[in-house]
């Protein structure tokens, strides 16, 4: 028998049922870890650490979850905050910053210039963190622009712009 | 719960196909078990602890209010004139009083610092 997200959340809220919460983790571990891995430029260990902290925070704060949003959107929001805190700690790029791609990506830029086809992972590194987050949520995880704006904690227009810019950059880099 | 449909992919857009094709399912590999191990103690336990501590403080305060004047009276009457004159019964009463006050302070400190 398969329970809906709402059923599982209700069991966690009423009985602090760790089995129900475990089922929620099993359902969403892959998209959350994948999202964080994209933000971390493929660093799977860092992504897993942040994802674990995301789910622990979700357990602590599940009482604040409002059922008018999807559980996945809420989780992506927590994951995003975890990434922001990590970025602040390491003085890296915060999501709000629309910084230029790092100098280490010169090789990828050169490949684009010479019309060589980049693979998607390398092309994604050409995007700013904000663009990458918007593309992963909207184009890979099926969130609407509204939901992505809610998860990323930024205005709807910013998400739309980031998706548009990100897509243009990817199209140029991948020559599609 | 909102059941908003995801954005419809642009038809025949190779970039969308590429992006969707790159989404791979990450096997759990013990991740869920690690998360469950890292979960903090149940909130109900913390709530019960708070209730027990509050009851203990109230009981201790009531007992102190009831017995403290009598104990202080006994201590005051038999207060030793010199350190050499201290006797075991007086010392034991005094130590018990200090321990009770320390327990009360500790309990109140624990309540104030109780994690929400």
What average pLDDT does the segment B13-21 reach? Answer: 88
Residue A99 — pLDDT band, cuts 50, 70, 90?
Answer: very low
| Band of residue A44 on the pLDDT scale cut at 50, 70, 90 | very high
DSSP A63: G
Assess A67–B contact: CB distance below 8 Å, yes or no: yes
The pLDDT-based confidence of A149 (bands split at 50, 70, 90) is very high
The tens digit of pLDDT for each residue in A67-77 reads: 888 999 999 99
Residue spans of alpha helices (H) in A40-144: 44-61, 71-89, 106-113, 120-124, 129-135
Alpha-carbon dihedral of residues B70, B71, B74, B80, nearest 10 degrees? -160
The pTM of the full predicted model, rounded to 2 decimals, is 0.66
CA dihedral sign of residues A162, A164, A167, A168? negative
Residue with tokens 């100098």: A103
Give the Cα separation of A171 and A160 in Å (integer): 16
Q: A102 and chain B: CB distance < 8 Å anywhere? A: no
Are the beta carbons of B4 and A142 separated by less than 8 Å?
Answer: no
B84 band by pLDDT with thresholds 50, 70 and 90: low
Size of interface A-B (CB pairs under 8 A): 90
- Taking contacts as CB-CB distances below 8 angstroms, the residues of chain B near A3 are none
| Interchain proximity A69–B2, CB inside 8 Å | yes
* CB within 8 Å: A140 and B19: yes
Nearest CB partner across the interface for B6, out of A51, A144, A170: A144
Across chain A, which distance is largest between two alpha carbons, in Å? 60
Q: Report the pLDDT value the prediction gives residue A7, as an integer from 0 to 100.
A: 93
Nearest to A134 by CA among A151, A114, A115: A151
Distance from CA of B46 to the nearest CA of A (A): 13
pLDDT at position A134 is 96
- Tokens representing A94 are 């915060």
């Amino acid at each position: 028998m398969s329970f809906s997200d709402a059923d599982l959340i209700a069991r966690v809220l009423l009985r602090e049922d760790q089995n129900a919460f475990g089922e929620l983790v099993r359902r969403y571990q892959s998209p959350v870890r994948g999202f964080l891995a994209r933000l971390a430029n493929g660093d799977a260990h860092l992504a897993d650490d942040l994802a674990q902290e995301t789910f622990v925070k979700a357990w602590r704060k599940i009482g604040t979850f409002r059922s008018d949003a999807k559980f996945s959107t809420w989780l992506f929001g927590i994951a995003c905050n975890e990434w922001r805190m990590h970025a602040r700690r390491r003085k890296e790029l915060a999501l709000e910053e629309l910084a230029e791609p790092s100098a280490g990506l010169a090789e990828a830029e050169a490949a684009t210039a010479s019309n060589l086809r980049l693979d998607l992972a390398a092309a994604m590194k050409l995007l700013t963190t904000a663009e990458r987050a918007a593309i992963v949520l909207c184009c890979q995880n099926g969130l609407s622009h509204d939901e992505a704006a809610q998860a990323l904690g930024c205005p709807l227009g910013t998400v739309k712009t980031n998706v548009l810019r990100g897509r243009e950059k990817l199209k140029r880099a991948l020559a599609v | 719960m909102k059941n908003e449909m995801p954005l419809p992919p642009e038809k025949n857009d190779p970039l969308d196909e590429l992006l969707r094709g790159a989404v791979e399912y990450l096997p759990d590999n013990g991740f869920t078990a690690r998360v469950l191990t890292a979960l903090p103690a149940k909130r109900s336990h913390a709530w019960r602890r708070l209730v027990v501590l509050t009851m203990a403080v109230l009981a201790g305060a009531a007992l102190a209010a009831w017995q403290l004047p009598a104990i202080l009276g006994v201590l005051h009457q038999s207060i030793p004139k010199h350190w050499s004159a201290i006797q075991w019964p007086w010392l034991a009463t005094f130590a018990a009083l200090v321990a009770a006050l320390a327990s009360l302070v500790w309990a109140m400190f624990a309540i104030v610092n109780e994690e929400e």
